[in-house]
Every structure is written in structure tokens, then in C-alpha cells.
Amino acid sequence: MNTDPTNTDATNASGPQTDWVGLGLAQAVTEVRIGPVPVGAALAGGRRLRRRRRALVGALALSSAVVLAGGAVAGLHQVSDRGAAAAVIAPAAAGPTATAAVRDPLTPVRTVLAQGSTADGKQWKAWAALWPKADRERSMQQAQLVWQERHAADPELAAPTAEFVQQYWQPDEDVVNLYFTLDGVRLANDSTGSTPAPSSPHAGTAGSPAGVLLGHLGKGDTVAPVDLAVLQVGSEVGRIVVTWQDGSNYEPPLTALADSPAHWVAVPRPPGRTAKQWQFYDRNGTLLSTDPAGLLH
């Protein structure tokens, strides 16, 4: 049991009236058999989760495992929704452009990262909503607003508690919510993470490649219109090339989210293809890194 001496919450004291509970539980757990720790299974399961729609990849921790990419390629002109071809249109910015002067933690700046059409003619868009960093006082309000948007599409999503928000609040990070819309209607498929704010001391490393696979699996009754890899890279990255297994290439456009120091790319998976490698180049065309096992692999 926890014997942390700093745990001085008066409500924590277990008095004689309830000591028997703790003692009983402590005796009960002696029945537990501690066998070999299934590290391999947890690693494999974690990797599977990462590949799924809602798996988040930590900014630095999982970068090489999941995301790194760089390379040059020729264009991807078609993606598939359940196997059928669909046109992909170059991303276009939407909504207001955030600047340092208008940063409002309660007003997100939305950007279209990619868009296209499904086989049955529906228009899909992949959005990034950037919620500028909030101070501690407004972090709860911001979390509730983000949740309200997400909850409208996913009624099972639990509301954030003050304790949770305070525990995981990051003072120098913007919140980024990635999601799909289909014919203008938001889908449940989404992913929420954070990225260093312009004022962050880590802004210079914002480009450490990190990403998420959005829409890889359906959620509830919804099915994402496309399997989409979304990455954030540093401003030093000028070009990314994805090489598919069949030898063809795709060079996704880099998109800025308001004044965020990171740039973003969205790569729809074309029909029946898997990524062979990703390559990152700087603005001068110098190869920065190559990842043979990135997203969409």
C-alpha cells in the first residue's frame, strides 16, 4: 500500500472503523499469483493500438517506431474508400488565421489537411483544430469545449474532470484535435494530442516527427472515409516523400496550423498500397532521415 509521507489529505486517513477493509484486501491479494510479466504481448498489443484510429503517438517517444518519414515522390492522385477510387484535392486552409495577437485558447483555428471524395460521391475532409495553449485557470474550460465538440460526434466520450485536466495540463502546449467530416458532418473518428506552442522552449523541436493513423478502424457505427496518416514535422522539414511498395511515390503538401511552429502533413492510403519508406528532406533538399517502417506500413 502507498506509504507516501506527503500524502496528508485528511480524508485519506483510514481509521479503526475501516482498517479491517484495508487489512482484508491486503490478505485477499495474497491469493494473486505473480507469474512472468508478459512484456512481449504488451509491446505487440501496444503497437497494434498505435496503428488503430484512436492510438496517439507521443511526440518523441514513439516517433521512430511509428512515424518517421521523409522522401520524395511522385503524386498520389487517387485514394480509395473501401477499394474504390476517389479524387484527392490539395488541402486548403479554412477558418481564421491565428496569430500571436489573436491567440484565444477557447477559439480553435481549423485547417483542412486533406480532402477528397468517396466512391459514392461524398466529400470527406480531414481537419486539424488547433486550440492555443491555455493557462491553468482556463485549461478546464478549454478541455470542456474540446470535449463538447468530440462528444457531439461520440456520445460515449466521458467528460473531463478538473482533477484530470489539472494533472495532465501542459503550460506550453497547444491542443490539436484531428477529425473527419463527411459531407460536412463530423465523424466520431478523431485523435487529440498536443504540440509545442510558439512560445514554448521546445518550439524548436516541434518538428520531431510524430503522427497518428486516423480512420484506420471504424468507431462504433461509423467508418472513416479513408485511411489517413497525419504527421507533424518541424519547420526545418521542407519536403516529405512516401514510397509505396509498388515503387510509386507521393509527396504530401506541408500545411501550417495558424502560428504553430510545427508543420503538418496528411497522407491518404491509396488503394491496396502500403508504405515502403518515408523520407524527410530539409528546405535545401538535403535528406534528414529515412524511415523504412513508418505509418501506412
Partner 1 sequence: MGEPKNGWDGEFQEFMVGAWPRLLRTAYLLAGDQHAAEDLVQSAFERAFAAWGRVRRAEDRYAYVRQILVNQHARRFRRRPPELLVDAVPEAHSPEDGFARSDERAALVAALATLPPRQRQAVVLRHWEDLSDSQAAAAMGCSVGAVRSQAAKGIARLREAAAPKESKVMTHIGGAV
Residues of this chain that interact with partner 1 (CB under 8 A) are 1-3, 7, 9, 11-12, 14, 16, 18-35, 37-39, 41-43, 45-50, 55-65, 67-68, 158, 160-161, 163-164, 167-168, 207-210, 280, 288-289
C-alpha cell at 37: 510479466
Q: How far is the CB of 15 from partner 1 (least distance, A)?
A: 11
Asked whether 69 and 57 are in contact (CB, 8 A), the reply is no
Q: How far is the CB of 35 from partner 1 (least distance, A)?
A: 8
Q: How far is the CB of 1 from partner 1 (least distance, A)?
A: 4
The residue among 41 and 101 lying less far from partner 1, judged by its C-beta, is 41
Q: How far apart are CA 241 and CA 288, in angstroms?
A: 12
When computed from its CA atoms, the radius of gyration of the chain, rounded to whole angstroms, is: 22
Q: How far apart are CA 294 and CA 114, in angstroms?
A: 19
The residue among 115 and 139 lying less far from partner 1, judged by its C-beta, is 139
Q: How far is the CB of 65 from partner 1 (least distance, A)?
A: 4
Q: How far apart are CA 19 and CA 16, in angstroms?
A: 5
Burial 227-241 (b: 16+ CB within 10 A, else e): bbbbbbbbbbbbbbb
The residue among 50 and 125 lying less far from partner 1, judged by its C-beta, is 50
The residue among 59 and 98 lying less far from partner 1, judged by its C-beta, is 59
> 103 burial class (0-12, 13-18, 19+ CB within 10 angstroms)?
buried
The residue among 81 and 174 lying less far from partner 1, judged by its C-beta, is 174
The residue among 38 and 271 lying less far from partner 1, judged by its C-beta, is 38
- What's the sign of the alpha-carbon dihedral 140, 141, 146, 150? positive
Q: How far is the CB of 18 from partner 1 (least distance, A)?
A: 6
Q: How far is the CB of 249 from partner 1 (least distance, A)?
A: 20
The residue among 6 and 247 lying less far from partner 1, judged by its C-beta, is 6
Q: How far apart are CA 236 and CA 261, in angstroms?
A: 10
Q: How far is the CB of 56 from partner 1 (least distance, A)?
A: 5
Count of H-run helices and E-run strands, the chain: 4, 14
Residue with cell 496569430: 99
Q: How far is the CB of 204 from partner 1 (least distance, A)?
A: 13
The residue among 97 and 141 lying less far from partner 1, judged by its C-beta, is 141
The C-alpha torsion from 186 through 258 and 198 to 104, rounded to 10°, is -70
Q: Which are the contacts of 203, defined by CB distance < 8 A and separation ≥ 6?
A: 196, 197, 261
